[in-house]
Structure 1
Amino acid sequence: MSREEPRYRLVFAGLLLGLVWTLLLAGCGAGRPTVQTFPGGTLERKVESVAVLPFIDRSGYGQGGKIVQRLLVGELVQSCNWRVALEGDIMRVYRQVRLRPWEEPDPEQLRIIAARLGVDLLITGEILEMEERVDSSGVDPLLLLQLRVYDGQDGARRWATRHRRQGGDYQRVMHFGTVNTISAVSRNAVREILEEWRRKGLLVCPSTS
Structure 2
Amino acid sequence: MSMMMNESSPVTTMLPHYDSGLPSLYEAPPAPPKPRLMFKMPRVVPDQKTKFESDELFRRLARETEQVRYTGYRDRPTEERRQKFQSQCRDGYTEIAFTSSGTNLQLSFSPTQGGYSSDVDFNKEPGKVHIRSRFIMNGVCVRWKGYVDLERLDGIGCLEFDEDCARVEDQQLREEIEKYKAKLREFEDKSRGPFKNFTSFGGGK
- TM-score bracket relative to the smaller structure: under 0.3
User: Given the two structures, how large is their TM-score scaled by the length of structure 1?
Assistant: 0.22
Q: Greater CA radius of gyration, 1 or 2?
A: 2
More helix by share: 1
RCO greater where, 1 or 2, for CA within 8 Å and sep 6 or more? 1
User: Given the two structures, how large is their TM-score scaled by the length of structure 2?
Assistant: 0.22
